[in-house]
Amino acid sequence: MKQGIGNSEACRIVGISRSSGTRWRHGHTVVLKSGDIKKYAPISHQRPAVISARFLSESERITIADLLHARRSIRAIAMELGRSPSTVSREIRRNIHKPSGNYRPRTAQRSAERRRSRQRSGKIAGNPELQDFVREHLEQRWSPRQISNRLRAVFPEQPEMHVVPETVYQALYGRGRLDLAVNPAVSLRTGRTGRRPRRRKEHRTKRFPDMVMIRDRPAEVTSRLVPGHWEGDLIIGKGSRSAIATLVERTTRFIILVHLAGNRGAENLRDRLAETMSALPAHLRRSLTWDQGTEMACHQDFTQRTLMPVYFCDPASPWQRGSNENTNGLLRQYFPKGTDLGVHTAEHLASVANQLNRRPREVLGWESPLERLTTLGSPLTDS
């Protein structure tokens, strides 16, 4: 089984029954004719020294069993563990004891440890036709998601030719990367030679003192029903020497561009943002969401000046500021990457923002941000 052979096949090769193989692997006790008891230890006592927090632990499996016995639902168990309902559902379905219909946590834990220690070749490495298809399209700069969807379209009746995007990433960055012989730095848009580790939220540290994370925002911010909640970020110029601060109102998608005069330091950003936001009426100054860039190190001073709380996104999570990320993409039509952003005046930035604010948006039912702001009765000056 250490060579990657399954339990049934390993028992057949050795010439024993499956029940004998199970006893060999888990250990068993025999009562001799003399009445003595002889204990046979499992074949291997080895367990992984460190198990990633991504995987269910033995204590979590015991909790699942207890809550199932208490007739709790899958979603209630997932909420108790802080896991996805699909993770809990898959764990129960995979490890249910068929004769009794019970979930056995310690047996499930041993099975998980055995699966983890087995060296198995990936789906792509074991299928030459699939391997050639993936390699060919990676060399054409296709993304793993595009490849995954095209495989389903080209081979609709061949599930052995279907892979999810993560399988392609594993083949590029994991143990099977030599099988594809493709350089991910060239094939993928990100240009990364390795994958970035993603820590779980509870293991992440706060970059600045007194940071309030995005998950602690009030519900009204998420609903987008109340105007006055903003998302912000910087777009960076050539050589990281210049920048423009971009602000997007979440409900109306109204845009404000902040001129930084060639200085992207934390203190200058604090002053320029405070000056910009203080000019707005109070009902349009409810909150600001930003990433964890060092430019927001003076967030406490900004809050004192404007009475706007600042909420911070999780690291490497741009989707948590989706409106702002989309807006920054639109702005690159006016401020291309690799150009000096310091040459643009405050008047030019205001002109660009005004043009975008008058452009109809599908997400607003083809109203412009300025029209939606007016419809909501939120003019930019107090009446």
Q: Note the pLDDT of residue 370.
A: 93
Judgement on whether residues 218 and 360 belong to the same structural domain of the protein: yes
- C-alpha distances (whole Å) from 50 to each of 25, 46, 135 are 21, 12, 34
The residues, ordered by sequence, that sit 6+ positions from 369 with a Cβ below 8 Å of its Cβ are 249, 252, 253, 254, 255, 356, 357, 358, 359, 361
Answer yes or no: is 332 within a domain. Answer: yes
Q: Is the dihedral of CA 352, 353, 354, 359 positive or negative?
A: positive
Answer yes or no: is 351 within a domain. Answer: yes
Domain boundary, last residue among 13, 29, 45: 45
The residue with tokens 């409810």 is 286
Judgement on whether residues 269 and 314 belong to the same structural domain of the protein: yes
Q: Helices 58-69 and 85-95, interaxial angle, to 10°?
A: 80
Burial class (CB in 10 A: 0-12, 13-18, 19+), 41: exposed
Q: Note the pLDDT of residue 141.
A: 85
Domains identified in the chain, total number: 4
Instruction: Check if the beta carbon of residue 169 is closer than 8 Å to that of residue 195.
Output: yes
Answer yes or no: is 201 within a domain. Answer: no
Answer yes or no: is 132 within a domain. Answer: yes
The boundaries of the domain holding residue 99 are 49-114
Judgement on whether residues 157 and 39 belong to the same structural domain of the protein: no
Judgement on whether residues 98 and 139 belong to the same structural domain of the protein: no
The residues, ordered by sequence, that sit 6+ positions from 274 with a Cβ below 8 Å of its Cβ are 301, 302, 305, 306
Q: Note the pLDDT of residue 171.
A: 83
Positions in the chain short of pLDDT 70: 44-51, 117-120, 175-180, 196-206, 378-383
Kindly compute the dihedral angle of the four CA atoms of residues 61, 66, 70, 72, in this order, to the nearest 10 degrees. -20
Judgement on whether residues 228 and 343 belong to the same structural domain of the protein: yes
The closest alpha carbon to 183, from 194, 196, 167, belongs to 194
Judgement on whether residues 39 and 57 belong to the same structural domain of the protein: no
Judgement on whether residues 361 and 278 belong to the same structural domain of the protein: yes
Q: Note the pLDDT of residue 262.
A: 81
- Upper half-sphere CA count for residue 359 (Cβ side, 13 Å): 15
Around Cβ 158, how many Cβ atoms within 10 Å? 12
> Phi and psi (nearest 5°) for 69?
-65, -30
Domain boundary, last residue among 172, 187, 202: 187
Q: Note the pLDDT of residue 205.
A: 54
The residue with tokens 């210049």 is 242
The residues, ordered by sequence, that sit 6+ positions from 8 with a Cβ below 8 Å of its Cβ are 18
Judgement on whether residues 288 and 351 belong to the same structural domain of the protein: yes
Kindly compute the dihedral angle of the four CA atoms of residues 167, 172, 176, 181, in this order, to the nearest 10 degrees. 130
Answer yes or no: is 382 within a domain. Answer: no
Answer yes or no: is 121 within a domain. Answer: no
Give the CATH number for residue 275.
Answer: 3.30.420.10
Judgement on whether residues 337 and 226 belong to the same structural domain of the protein: yes
Answer yes or no: is 69 within a domain. Answer: yes
Judgement on whether residues 62 and 98 belong to the same structural domain of the protein: yes
